[in-house]
A = this chain, B = another copy of it.
Amino acid sequence: MSTYTNISLAARPNPGPITPDLFKVEYKSIPQAGPGQVLVKQTYMSLDPAMIGWMSPDQESYVPPVEIGEVMRSAGIGEIVESNHPDFAVGDRVRGMLGWREYLVSGGEGLTKLPTNLNEEMALAVFALPGMTATQGLYGFGDPKKGETIVVSGAAGSVGSIVGQLAKADGLNVIGVAGDDEKCDWIRDELGFDAAINYKTDDIPARLREYAPNGVDIYFENTGGAIQQPVFDQMNTHGRIIVCGMIADYTSDTPSAGPNWIPLIKKRITIRGFAMPDHFQDVQKLTEKLTPYVINGKIRYRTHVLEGLESAIDGLNLFFTGGNRGKLIVKL
């Protein structure tokens, strides 16, 4: 095969589902590595909720949007198939922001070798954006203490599932919120969360009172939506709210209202919004924090693997529907 698939952004999304016309799919000739370059064949590509933001023209976002006509942005893992670069040999596995394409030529900038003992799926599901985000959010801003209660929304998601398991390993009472019973069963029965709430079918305030009889100390917010106000109402004095994602609102024309601020005073609550590009310089430190939990078997994960690059397009909609079962990965 002398051609490869390349997908670039063709238009900005409107509120609502991601549609194929937002992308341009092209079949290009596989290039050759020039002097000092490598040719990378991507093998696994990560799909992340942040991509919705990267596609949008919002000037207030924390990273520049993908330009129209530019290859769509993504993290991934690939194999060196040609090398004229002293640091990389044919067969090396590398990771980096590879983009939505099967092959790319690179001068090596931004490529790092994958440790030989790390498989690709764990590399993308744990030791990548999800694990770094979970670790930074929980320990950088959450100040978790044994015996406290944490509520994690989007708890079956790539970030939420790690947050909850870290907190459980630290001795907290961990309540996960998810959108269907299968996910609730998974976080409770497989990951060891103390309790799970199905926000679509459960009586949220009643379940919160039952599972958090002493109130909520930490609220790790990945979704927004129906769960937000009820959890906010149960926050304890000196509670910490970490706002990591609001996927329930990303596709709506008019953002939903947030909670009134009076309880912030009465309970001296801190709400902290964050995004990982502010903390990329801390990745080494975050990895060192996360690694012992993984080595000690405290962090389980599952992957939802899509086959073929073009499956990424419709795959993004799984973030809105909650239809994915684990970390979304595209196998190329």
**A positions within 8 Å CB-CB of B:** 53, 58, 60-62, 221, 224, 228, 237, 243-246, 249-250, 255-275, 278
Contacts and interface: CB of A to CB of B under 8 A. Distances in A.
Copies of this chain, how many? 2
Contact of A265 (B228, B266, B275): B275
Q: Most chain-B CB neighbours within 10 Å: which of A250, A257, A266?
A: A266
B221 A266 contact: no
29 contacts: A60-B237, A60-B263, A60-B266, A62-B237, A62-B265, A62-B268, A224-B262, A246-B260, A246-B261, A250-B262, A255-B260, A257-B258, A258-B258, A258-B261, A261-B273, A263-B273, A264-B271, A264-B272, A265-B274, A266-B273, A267-B273, A268-B274, A268-B275, A268-B278, A270-B270, A270-B271, A270-B272, A271-B271, A271-B272
B224 A266 contact: no
Contact of A273 (B243, B255, B269, B272): B269
Nearest to A267: B60
A134 B69 CA distance: 51
A250 B266 CA distance: 12
A249 B262 contact: yes
Q: Most chain-B CB neighbours within 10 Å: which of A257, A261, A269?
A: A261
Contacts of A237: 60, 62
A244 B265 contact: yes
A227 to B, nearest CB: 12
A258 B256 contact: no
Nearest to A238: B278
B260 A243 contact: no
Nearest to A244: B265
Contacts of A271: 261, 264, 270-272
Contact of A268 (B58, B268, B273): B273
Nearest to A233: B60
A263 B60 CA distance: 8
Given A60-B267, A224-B262, A255-B260, 6 more contacts: A60-B237, A224-B260, A258-B260, A263-B273, A264-B272, A268-B275
Given A257-B257, A258-B257, A245 B265 contact: yes
Contacts of A244: 265
Contacts of A263: 60, 273
Contact of A58 (B259, B266, B270): B266
B221 A243 contact: no
